[in-house]
A and B are shown apart, each in its own frame.
Chain A
Amino acid sequence: MVQKLSILIIEDEKSICDFIAKTLNGQEYKTTAAHNGRDGLAILTSTLPDLVLLDLGLPDMDGIDIIKQTRQWSSLPIIVISARVQEKEKVAALDAGADDYITKPFGTDELLARIRTAIRHSNKIMSDNVNNNRPYSAKGLVVDFEKRRVLVDGNEVHLTRVEYKIVSMLAQNSGKVITYSSLINQVWGPYADDNNRILRVNMANIRRKIEKNPGEPEYIFTELGIGYRLIEDENLL
Chain B
Amino acid sequence: MEFRKRKTKRNRQIADYDREEIRKGHLQEGLIFFLTFVGTTMIAFAFRGMVANPDVNITMFYILGIFVVARYTNGYVWGFLFAVLSVLSVNFFFTYPYRNFNLTLEGYPITFAAMFIIYVFTSAMTTDMKEQARILAHQEKELMEAQKEKLRANLLRAVSHDLRTPLTGIIGNSESYLEMEEKLSDEEKREIVENIEGDANWLLNMVENLLSVTRINNETAKVNKSLEPVDEVISSAVVRFKKRFPEAELKVFPPEDLIMVMMDATLIEQVIINILNNANAHAHSVKPIELKVFEDDDKVWFCIKDYGVGIDEKRLDTIFDGAGYSRDEEGEVDGYKGMGIGLSICKTIVIAHGGDIKAKNHGEGSKFFFYLPKETEE
| Residues of chain A having any CB pair with chain B under 8 Å | 84-85, 87, 105, 197, 200-201, 203-205, 207-208, 213-217, 221-225
Contact = CB atoms under 8 A, between A and B. Distances in A.
Given A201-B258, A215-B231, A222 B236 contact: yes
Contact of A225 (B234, B238, B252, B265): B265
B252 A215 contact: yes
B35 to A, nearest CB: 48
B232 A224 contact: yes
A72 B233 CA distance: 36
Nearest to A204: B258
Interface residues of B, number: 27
Given A85-B266, A215-B291, A224 B254 contact: no
Contacts of A84: 208, 211
The interface residues of chain B, by DSSP majority, are classed as: helix
A81 to B, nearest CB: 15
A50 B316 CA distance: 57
Given A200-B229, A214-B235, A224 B269 contact: yes
A213 B288 CA distance: 16
B258 A225 contact: no
B143 interface: no
19 contacts: A85-B211, A85-B215, A85-B266, A200-B229, A201-B258, A201-B260, A204-B229, A204-B231, A204-B232, A207-B235, A214-B231, A216-B238, A217-B235, A221-B236, A221-B239, A222-B235, A223-B236, A224-B269, A225-B265
A47 to B, nearest CB: 34
A9 to B, nearest CB: 21
B19 to A, nearest CB: 42
B266 A87 contact: yes
Nearest to A83: B211
B227 interface: yes
Contact of B239 (A197, A217, A225): A217
Interface in B175-214: 204, 208, 211-212
A148 to B, nearest CB: 25
B210 to A, nearest CB: 11
Given A197-B227, A201-B229, A216 B208 contact: no
